[in-house]
């Protein structure tokens, strides 16, 4: 597996620190990141391939500094967003997968083989000539995975990849993610997706508040959100008593 290293990393937006002095070394196969809305999960994940740059500290992927060697890092790190529509760039499913390889300088036969293999891997072979934008949400997310992984990145970062999907499609995408050989960093609110992961990082207020195996980290996170819910209930009760 690769080593993803955060060295005392911070990042602010509009004067507010959303990632606050985080140091981590991620070397496991499957790593989950959880946390309440706004806790800094996506910002942390985006720093792995330079979509967001730190204002302090460094992020290294296999010793490459993301801020200085971004192009080399992006060859190793694939990224899948919550909304697969934002990643579809070509008219048909096959063309969209093939688009990734345009700069790989492969012989056409080899490129075709890679595209076929990626389509088959995600159950998209039958849909290859379909307009990509007309796929279902679940199929689009599988297409996003195929289009990223056809480039053979060592690491896949997925930011809430199942959030917009219905339960059946979410399970389907989760099953595919769980079976990947690539190193995986997944930001998710769907905690069952992370049950079998090797490591789960819990973020709160831009800091890592727990970093452990899922059996320890997920219950800790559930406790944390229960406490926050109780605090919110207090606010709601107060608001209900005072508003007309
Ligand atoms: N590009 C940006 N410009 C301004 N503020 C931003 C930007 N990106 C993130 N933020 C703010 O930083 C905070 C942390 O955002 P981030 O997306 O990292 O949190 P998150 O834990 O992934 O939340 P969610 O679960 O809601 O996606 C939020 O308050 C968000 O509004």
The pLDDT tens digits of the residues spanning 182-230 come to 999 999 998 999 999 999 999 999 999 999 999 999 999 999 888 776 6
> Which of the residue ranges 61-70, 204-213, 234-243 would you say has the lowest mean pLDDT?
234-243
Query: Residue 240's pLDDT band (boundaries 50, 70, 90)?
Result: low
- How many domains does the chain fold into? 1
The interface predicted TM-score (ipTM) is 0.95
Residue 69 has a CB neighbour count (10 Å cut-off) of 16
pLDDT tens sequence across 95-143: 999 999 998 889 999 999 999 999 999 999 999 999 999 999 889 999 9
Catalogue the E-assigned strands of 27-97.
30-35, 56-61, 64-65, 77-80
Domain encompassing residue 233: 4-242
Rg of the Cα atoms in the chain:
19
β strands within 36-94, DSSP E = 56-61, 64-65, 77-80
Residue 137 CB–ligand 1 contact under 6 Å: no
Global pTM value: 0.91
Residues 214 and 200 sit within 8 Å (Cβ to Cβ): yes
User: Would you state the torsion angle of the CA atoms of residues 5, 8, 17, 86, taken in this order, to the nearest 10 degrees?
Assistant: -10
* CB 93 within 8 Å of CB 130: yes
Confidence of residue 244 (pLDDT cuts 50, 70, 90): low
188 lines ligand 1 (CB under 6 A): no
User: Could you report the per-residue pLDDT of 25-65, keeping only the tens digit for each?
Assistant: 999 999 999 999 999 999 999 999 999 999 999 999 999 99
Structure confidence at residue 234 (pLDDT):
60
The CATH number of whichever domain residue 212 belongs to comes to 3.40.50.300
Bridge partners (DSSP) of residue 50 are: none
Q: Return all residues near 144 (Cβ < 8 A) that are at least 6 apart.
A: 80, 81, 84, 87, 88, 161
Nearest residue to 144 via CA among 83, 75, 84, 79:
84
Atom 24 of ligand 1, residue of closest alpha carbon = 37
In short, whether 18's Cβ falls inside 6 Å of ligand 1 is yes
> How many angstroms separate the alpha carbon of residue 39 from the centre of ligand 1?
7
Lateral strand order in the sheet of 183-187: 77-80, 155-159, 183-187, 30-35, 199-204, 207-212
Question: Which residues, including other chains, have CB under 8 Å from residue 166's CB and lie 6 or more apart?
Answer: 137, 138
Ligand 1 atom 18 nearest Cα: 40
pLDDT at 236: 58
Q: Name which residue sits closest to atom 16 of ligand 1, judged by CA.
A: 40
């Amino acid at each position: 597996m690769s080593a993803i290293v955060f060295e005392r990393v911070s990042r602010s937006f509009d004067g507010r620190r959303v990632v606050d002095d985080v140091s981590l070394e991620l070397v496991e196969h499957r790593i989950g990141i959880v946390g309440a809305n706004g806790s800094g999960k996506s910002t942390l994940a985006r720093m792995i391939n330079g979509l967001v740059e730190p204002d302090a500290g460094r992020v290294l992927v296999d010793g490459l500094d993301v801020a200085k060697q971004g192009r080399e890092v992006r060859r190793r790190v694939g990224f899948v967003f919550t909304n697969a529509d934002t990643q579809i760039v070509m008219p048909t499913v096959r063309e969209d997968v093939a688009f990734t390889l345009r700069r790989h300088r492969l012989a056409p036969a080899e490129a075709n083989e890679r595209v076929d293999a990626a389509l088959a891997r995600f159950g998209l072979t039958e849909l290859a000539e379909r307009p990509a934008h007309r796929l279902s949400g679940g199929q689009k997310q599988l297409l996003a995975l195929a289009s990223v992984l056809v480039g053979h990145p060592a690491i896949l970062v997925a930011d809430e990849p199942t959030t917009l999907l219905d339960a059946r499609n979410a399970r389907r995408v989760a099953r595919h993610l769980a079976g990947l050989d690539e190193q995986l960093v997944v930001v998710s609110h769907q905690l069952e997706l992370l049950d079998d992961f090797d490591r789960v990082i819990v973020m709160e207020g831009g800091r890592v508040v727990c970093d452990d195996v899922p059996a320890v980290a997920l219950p800790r996170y559930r406790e944390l959100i229960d406490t926050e819910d109780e605090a919110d209930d207090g606010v709601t009760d107060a608001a209900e008593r005072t508003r007309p």
